[in-house]
Structure 1
Amino acid sequence: MPVVSPRHRADRCPALFRPWPADDGLLVRLRLVGGRVEVRRLRELLDVAERWGDGLLHLTGRANLQLRALPADPLSPGAVAAEVAEAVLATGLVPSRSHELVRNVMVSPQTGLAGGRADLRPVADELDAALCASPRLADLPGRFLFVLDDGRGDLVDRGCDLGVVALDDRAAQLRVGSGWGPVVPLEEVAGTLAGLAARFLDRRGDGPSAAWHVRELGSPLVPVGPVDARVPAERPPLPHGPVPGGLHVGATGGALDRVAVGSWPDGEVVVTPWHGVLLTEEVAA
């Protein structure tokens, strides 16, 4: 069946090497797989924001970071100034230039810290590695999204292109567009999702009217079926304050500044899809 797409343009989701020209300057987005990031890298990125941008780290609804008001390269106005790009690269938050647009992997923020049915951090890391290892998968649209719910139900309501919900510590049910796919062993999740992403590319069409999302394909990528009875009900967003696994801090105005980040000790934190940051028990102590 043909691709069903209402658009006739390529996606323009921003990244370091494909910035968005906003009214206040160039905007870039940095993908954080599962929202995980070390505090020292946030401080380094704040150095960039304070020197060249608006001084803030903006949080997105996909648990990523954005820098705003960055200067353009005078020799290439559509690109970020070379010294700014090099400073961002030095933070280590863009591990793959070729695949920076496609590392869109949301994960239950508390996974491996408290609750949930399985620790999906290794699955997310394996998926990220599989994406970056495939030259073909660099062609995924910048809006293509993977969502991994560890069985607690905090992300089961999030729309996605591909994903899973953990049923126990050994298996998960696939999410494929708006449908439910088969149950697969956890050790096969990353490879299965990467394979389905490649299948999407084979089916999405060509040119500016090519599909951005799985739901826009004319037929399913895999046979869809009923949702497994073990899939949890939707849970509300993680509240601010003490939570199992740490402290969920809200970001004023959806952004982090030097005052907030400067008070955190070194360690790993998790940017959440609710414009907050989960300070792990190690950091919050």
Structure 2
Amino acid sequence: MSDYVLAAIDGSHYAESVCDYAVWAATALSAPLRFLHTVDNHTQVAEPDLTGHLGLGTREHLLEQLSDIEEQRGKLARQQGRLILDAAKARVEAAGFAEPPCMQRNGTLVDTLAEHEKEIRLLVLGKRGETAHQASGHLGSNLERVVRELHRPILMVPKAFTLPKRVLMAFDGSKTARKGVEMLAKSPLFDDASCYVVIVGAETAENHSQLQWAMDTLQAAGRQTEGAIRAGEVEETLRAYKQEKDIDLLVMGAYGHSRIRHLLVGSTTTAMLRNAHLPVLILR
């Protein structure tokens, strides 16, 4: 059963924002909140190739030393993780969540999430992790893998928390996008938000019909709603629209028609997500 909001945290600058968005989501959903920190031993320093350079005894001695160092690195990583979890716990307790469960696991984030997938109602994580190059234009590799593998909604958050009041749904008429509109209509996450729906494409009868369905669905649920059909490239069009309407949360389906699908599941994550300075709710 999908029942709790899971906040995946690490030592990055996004950790506090992950906490704040997780508190917002868990409060709105009346759902329990849990924290997860993973220690991926495979990200530790790789064992060097010493063959052909040192005598057998010397190599064995150095490999033993490297093994000891690796073990110590693992202990330090786990200790650091516990401190990170303690800080997150203190932050959300101040917001009214008493004793949120904290999990620390060895292994990759993707593998750990797969073990708990059926229990997760919403995953919250930062745009980049602590091992991501901050000057890079790429998302954290963990996020890219999680989007591909996890079949649960994912809230990708920026460094600073802003209470979502104006929500944009990038709509393409796909099954996932329709589920997204229905989620916007029903979810208590958006009870106090205005909902905007945009189709990027031509002014065709089909697109008008799709947009009208989305508007009717949201308005029937009492949502304050505005819709538009805009021509142009998906990334530039959505970026311009969110600036025009001062959008503070973007909702997208991970799988849809090809133009929007490419934003999330291409071989390289595109500029829309790389440059997003607002939270993105990714639906599956």
- Indicate the TM-score class for this superposition, using the shorter chain for normalisation: under 0.3
Which of the two has greater strand per residue? 1
- TM-score, scaled relative to structure 2: 0.26
Higher helix share: 2
Q: Larger RCO: Structure 1 or Structure 2 (Cα < 8 Å, ≥ 6 residues apart)?
A: 1
Q: Radius of gyration: which is bigger?
A: 2
